Structure 1
Amino acid sequence: MSRPLSVQLYSVRAPLAADRAGTLERLAAMGYGAVEAFDVDDDPAGLRRLADGLGLVVSGAHVGQALGADPDAALDAVAGLGTTLAVIPAGFPREEFTTRDGLARTAERLNSLAGTAARHGLRLGYHNHWWELEPRVAGRHALDVLAEFLAPEVFLEVDTYWAAVGGADVPALLGRLGDRVQALHLKDGPGTKDDPNVAVGGGTMPVPELLAAAPDAWRVVEFDACAGDVFGELAASRAYLDALAAV
């Protein structure tokens, strides 16, 4: 895996808001080589300058704003970050993931938006939470069915922890989705919906099996919530993943 390890900046949203430059410097000093943006409305040009200055790649950007009234403006901001991956992180009614018709409607919207993204030099992706896995449609996880409706150019960023919370055998899921998976969110914890995350490698997730199942995908560490010092947990995550890579 030649791509640098990335971190979703939502993990450090509070310190980032207080001191963007200092926060990015701390991540770079830990050995993270990339970041994934989550708020493209917040001075994307400034984020790009800081990342470039620190040698950080922008691996992708979450851009829920692209589902709004002006997708071109949101996608133009993503393109300005220097990445080619624009990720829709949610934004569809959860009920749409409970029926085949709902999944078809969701895919139709994503497929249409993928054409808009392409005009900005971007590839569009979708990021799951638990509610795309927990419902079964004709006996299959909703995300599996959605993938069949998606145009080939639409990729998936699989949040491995949320997929597990939703009841999936995540390595098997990744195997079924194959090259559709261009990025993984790596997080760990007790495998519940409401408890905070812990450092990658410190919870219930089968991390080596996840990495083996999607060896070419971007690896993006994320904390939705952290009970302790998030920088310490990010450093521990980095050390664990480095140790796996050295085996």
Structure 2
Amino acid sequence: MKVGIQLYSVRNAMAKDPIATLRQVVDCGYKYLETANYNADKDPGTGFGVSPREMNKILDDSGAKVVGAHMDPLDNLQPILDYFEAIGCKRIGIPMPFFKDLDDVKRQCDGFNLADEQCKARGFQLYYHNHYQEFQKFEGQTVLDYIYDNTQLYFEVDSFWAARGGVDPVALMEKLGRRLILLHQKDFSKDVREPINVFDGLVAPDADLSSLEKFDAPLSNDVFTEIGTGILPIQDYINAGNKVGVEYIFLEQDHTKMSSEIESIKTSMESFKKFSGIEWA
């Protein structure tokens, strides 16, 4: 599979100067990009006011590609599809919903299915990206299982968050099979004494995880380390992804202690090169 970068990793730099940051990212050697826009109701593109013309110039000059896009909300989907069609990206991702109860899961699945119909009508793939709240159970079934059973969405497994949700990422990848099209990779610091599984003492199985604030409250940012420098069995995840035909694995650094986000993603790139079954261009 090909290695790319989720641009959430450089969100602070993007907020200051998106064009210069994008050029820095591709100059580092990242040729496959996944955008992250949590302001999609106002900006249907990258979330930083970069026009399709500007984005295409960066891509054309560098040989890079946008191959995925996290977008929230999806209430006004057609302008989003217009933007990403213009820059040659045909995958749109649902990045981080929260769920109050099973009725809420069912309601949101109805919305996912409507968005999926609109995406398919224009030749797009709509995919779902997990965190840990999808492995909470309502009436004996995990949220992710319910989404799998009641939609036709594709999936992007974030192996770090799946492990934090108390499941085996490899087994999850095997279950999703052909519906798994993308991977996210972070790493868990070897210097932090905290259970990887958040449901092992950090978060009650029946906790209210219905908002970002409640999701974040029990967590420490100290668990994040540059990718390939921690304790997760990343080679196993790469092998499992390749087995089911995943095309791209995106490195994502949620938080760093390094002096800059660019330094962090450079370190992850160098650390990640020790793995096999991947390519960079």
TMscore range, shorter length? 0.7 to 0.9
How far has the Cα of 1:205 moved from its partner?
Answer: 1.6
How far has the Cα of 1:118 moved from its partner?
Answer: 2.1
How far has the Cα of 1:211 moved from its partner?
Answer: 0.9
Aligned-CA RMSD value: 2.1
Matching residue of 1:130: 132
Residues 227, 253 of structure 2: 8 Å contact kept? no
Matching residue of 2:42: none
Matching residue of 1:167: 166
Residues 159, 184 of structure 1: 8 Å contact kept? yes
Matching residue of 1:106: 108
Residues 44, 81 of structure 1: 8 Å contact kept? no
Question: Residue deviations 1:163-217, cap 9 Å, x none?
Answer: 1111111111111111211111111124463224211122232101111111132
Task: Output the CA distance in 2 between the equivalents of 1:205 and 1:38.
Answer: 24
Structure ranking higher in helix proportion = 1
How far has the Cα of 1:84 moved from its partner?
Answer: 0.9
**Structure 2: runs of 5+ lacking an equivalent:** 38-44, 190-195, 199-218
**Matched positions, count:** 236
Residues 187, 221 of structure 1: 8 Å contact kept? yes
Residues 31, 63 of structure 2: 8 Å contact kept? yes
Correspondence for 2:33 among 21, 25, 35: 35
Task: Output the CA distance in 2 between the equivalents of 1:224 and 1:183.
Answer: 18
Q: How has the CA–CA distance of structure 1 residues 57 and 112 changed in structure 2, closer, same or farther, with 3 Å as cutoff?
A: same
How far has the Cα of 1:137 moved from its partner?
Answer: 4.3
Question: Residue deviations 1:44-101, cap 9 Å, x none?
Answer: 41223212221111011111131x2x2212222222231110001124x4224xx3x4
Correspondence for 2:220 among 183, 187, 194: 194
Residues 85, 124 of structure 1: 8 Å contact kept? yes
Task: Output the CA distance in 2 between the equivalents of 1:232 and 1:139.
Answer: 43
**Structure 1: runs of 5+ lacking an equivalent:** none
Residues 136, 142 of structure 1: 8 Å contact kept? yes
Matching residue of 1:62: 70
Partner amino acid for 2:231?
A: T
Task: Output the CA distance in 2 between the equivalents of 1:38 and 1:161.
Answer: 18
SS in 2 for 1:95: coil
Query: Is 1:227 aligned to residue 235 of structure 2?
Result: no
How far has the Cα of 1:140 moved from its partner?
Answer: 4.7
Task: Output the CA distance in 2 between the equivalents of 1:53 and 1:182.
Answer: 27
How far has the Cα of 1:139 moved from its partner?
Answer: 4.5
Partner amino acid for 2:268?
A: S
Partner amino acid for 1:57?
A: K
How far has the Cα of 1:246 moved from its partner?
Answer: 7.1
Residues 137, 145 of structure 1: 8 Å contact kept? no
Task: Output the CA distance in 2 between the equivalents of 1:80 and 1:159.
Answer: 27
SS in 2 for 1:7: strand
Matching residue of 2:151: 150
Query: Is 1:25 aligned to residue 18 of structure 2?
Result: no
Correspondence for 1:82 among 72, 83, 88: 88
Query: Is 1:118 aligned to residue 120 of structure 2?
Result: yes
How far has the Cα of 1:35 moved from its partner?
Answer: 0.9
Task: Output the CA distance in 2 between the equivalents of 1:140 and 1:205.
Answer: 26
Query: Is 1:236 aligned to residue 237 of structure 2?
Result: no
Task: Output the CA distance in 1 between the equivalents of 2:277 and 2:155.
Answer: 27
TM-score with structure 1 length normalisation? 0.86
Q: How has the CA–CA distance of structure 1 residues 49 and 136 changed in structure 2, closer, same or farther, with 3 Å as cutoff?
A: same
Task: Output the CA distance in 2 between the equivalents of 1:212 and 1:44.
Answer: 37
Partner amino acid for 2:73?
A: Q
Q: Which has the higher contact order (CA 8 A, sep 6+)?
A: 2
Task: Output the CA distance in 1 between the equivalents of 2:105 and 2:34.
Answer: 27
